[in-house]
Amino acid sequence: MTDRTYHSGDVSGLLNGRVSLWYDEIGIPARGPALPGDASVDVCIVGGGLTGLWTAYHLATHQPDLRIAVLEKEFAGFGASGRNGGWLSAELAGNLERYAATGGRDGVVRLVRAMEQAVDEVITVCDKEGIDADIVKNGVMHVARSEPQLARIDQTLAHHATWGIDESHERRLSRGEVHERVRVEGALGAVYSPHCARVQPAKLVRGIADAVRRLGVTIYEGTEVTAIGPGRAVTPHGVVHAEHVLRCLEGYTASIAGRRREWLPMNSSMVATEPLPEHVWAEIGWDGAELVGDSANAYSYAQRTADGRIAIGGRGVPYRYGSRTDRDGMTQRWTIESLAAILHSQFPATAGIPLTRAWCGVLGVPRDWCASVTLDPATGLGWAGGYVGSGLTTTNLAGRTLADLVLRRDTELVHLPWTNRRVRRWEPEPLRWLGVRAMYLLYREADRREATGLRQPSRITRFANRLTGR
Ligand SMILES: Cc1cc2nc3c(=O)[nH]c(=O)nc-3n(C[C@H](O)[C@H](O)[C@H](O)COP(=O)(O)OP(=O)(O)OC[C@H]3O[C@@H](n4cnc5c(N)ncnc54)[C@H](O)[C@@H]3O)c2cc1C
């Protein structure tokens, strides 16, 4: 199971790995000081991605005298928070029925509204803290390029309508309306939501890390946590003792002793073009900053970057045996090729434009594919994640909720239906690997059939979802 990869310089001009495109612009940060030895604080946060940083931000804002330490293995923003597609969207992981099982139907509607508000909350904090992360809120389009994809969009909209999720959240666009925004080749229609902004992920996460430091929080970088228990986080540099220890590792959760089967590290990869010339943009007609995805089972997601590239992502190799993660974001050759094929199929005008960048990262997938925020008051242990690829906004809602739970604030957030959900663990290997691999093989087969003449979504998709409990 060796990865066939492009190494830096293998392909003329294409840099693969080195965390992500987003750091090319601001530079890979030098690591801050590591934990100097044993320490004692009030709250110890493990993981310096957006979940950990938003939690620290809100804890420190509500209670400035709280002693808070963030322990980060590499540098703040090294993980998915500094590598993602920059979709700051109100999309929520998983299916609504599962959240309703713990929070009721009205709880689900409150959660959907809370996600919409979280998009604006992130933008507000960026304004307040002087963070320029190239944010533009023009919404998101999931484009259907075949009859079955269109049928899937309509089924989803009809299903959401039964939950009272109305046109203020998302609405159907005709083919003409899609083309007015972006000329995606073969588009038949789309679902559009205004609740989404384009973001430069590294600028956002590094900006939040700076804001957190200004509030008096200590971020120890180059500090790997190997074990977590009630009141303590263990690192090679020393043990941090704290009343509350919060695990904020999402796709890296399996690296902690005893947590290997908790959240599956799902891989997602991206490629980016060089800046497109004006005549290519004119052909594509993508004047705004809408985020654009397709409606395939193995879907893609794209953004027009502030410097005029298209960055597009998708699943590629979905999962590495034994919950392994990539080293510094290097992805596989065939993933790059398949993403290039999707790009050229959606935007034929890009066919002659070189790709300059490729990278990947991991996100966390719970066994029931629904996100959660949890604090066990008996042990002081807490965690948040499992956002299944919709984590950019959700980390903000999770961080605010985790902070309220720690501070025992009886807010609306702590009563949302994703709070304190119990989720069973993934199966041991090789079942995990076989299950996820089979699911994506089936998705690809379903997509192939849907692209070649089916009128309704392939039944294979339902079978694939049942296989992995999606
Ligand atoms: C390629 C890609 C594209 C994506 N696109 C989008 C998108 O467009 N929109 C969206 O909503 N979501 C997207 N996501 C998902 C989203 O980025 C994540 O869900 C979110 O950033 C998770 O944040 P986090 O802080 O929980 O985890 P991370 O950002 O992964 O942070 C975890 C941190 O823990 C550190 N760490 C790891 N192990 C240890 C250890 N043992 N001890 C201490 N520290 C450790 C890591 O270095 C990392 O900095 C994407 C993800 C990927 C990979």
In a domain, 313, yes or no: no
| 211 and 240 housed in the same domain | yes
In a domain, 465, yes or no: yes
Strand residues in 274-389 grouped as ranges (E)? 291-294, 301-304, 310-314, 355-365, 372-376, 381-385
- Whether the CB of 72 sits within 6 Å of ligand 1: yes
- Whether the CB of 50 sits within 6 Å of ligand 1: yes
Rounded Cα–Cα distance for residues 21 and 162 (Å)? 40
Residue-wise pLDDT tens for the chain (470 aa)? 233 333 333 455 799 999 999 999 999 999 999 999 999 999 999 999 999 999 999 999 999 999 999 999 999 999 999 999 999 999 999 989 999 998 889 999 999 999 999 999 999 999 999 999 999 999 999 999 999 999 999 999 999 999 999 999 999 999 999 999 999 999 999 999 999 999 999 999 999 999 999 999 999 999 999 999 999 999 999 999 999 999 999 999 999 989 999 999 999 999 999 999 999 999 999 999 999 999 988 889 999 999 999 999 997 778 888 888 888 999 999 899 999 999 999 999 999 999 999 999 999 999 999 999 999 999 999 999 999 999 999 999 999 999 999 999 999 999 999 999 989 999 999 988 888 888 888 888 888 888 887 778 878 877 777 777 77
Strands 196-198 and 87-89: antiparallel
Rounded Cα–Cα distance for residues 23 and 177 (Å)? 34
In a domain, 121, yes or no: no
Q: What is the CATH number of the domain that holds 56?
A: 3.50.50.60
DSSP 29: P
| 435 and 386 housed in the same domain | no
Q: Exposed, middle or buried by CB within 10 Å (0-12, 13-18, 19+), for 9?
A: exposed
Rounded Cα–Cα distance for residues 46 and 223 (Å)? 10
| 409 and 434 housed in the same domain | no
- Whether the CB of 187 sits within 6 Å of ligand 1: no
Number of helices (H) and strands (E), helices first, in the chain? Answer: 11, 19
Number of domains in the chain: 2
Positive or negative torsion for Cα 442, 446, 449, 454: positive
| 71 and 44 housed in the same domain | yes
- Specify the amino acid at residue 54: W
Closest CA relative to residue 207, chosen from 272, 122, 287? 122
How big is the chain, counted in residues?
Answer: 470
**384 C-alpha to center of ligand 1: Å?**
12
| 437 and 410 housed in the same domain | no
Give the residue numbers spanning the domain of 64: 31-88+202-263+368-415
- Whether the CB of 81 sits within 6 Å of ligand 1: yes
- Whether the CB of 399 sits within 6 Å of ligand 1: no
Contact (CB, 8 A) for 87 and 283? no
DSSP string over 234-254: EETTEEEEEEEEEE--GGGGG
Q: What is the C-alpha radius of gyration for the chain, rounded to an integer number of angstroms?
A: 21
Nearest CA to ligand 1 atom 31: 49
DSSP 348: G
In a domain, 441, yes or no: yes
In a domain, 184, yes or no: no
Rounded Cα–Cα distance for residues 342 and 177 (Å)? 22
In a domain, 150, yes or no: no
- Whether the CB of 86 sits within 6 Å of ligand 1: yes
In a domain, 59, yes or no: yes
Rounded Cα–Cα distance for residues 291 and 300 (Å)? 11
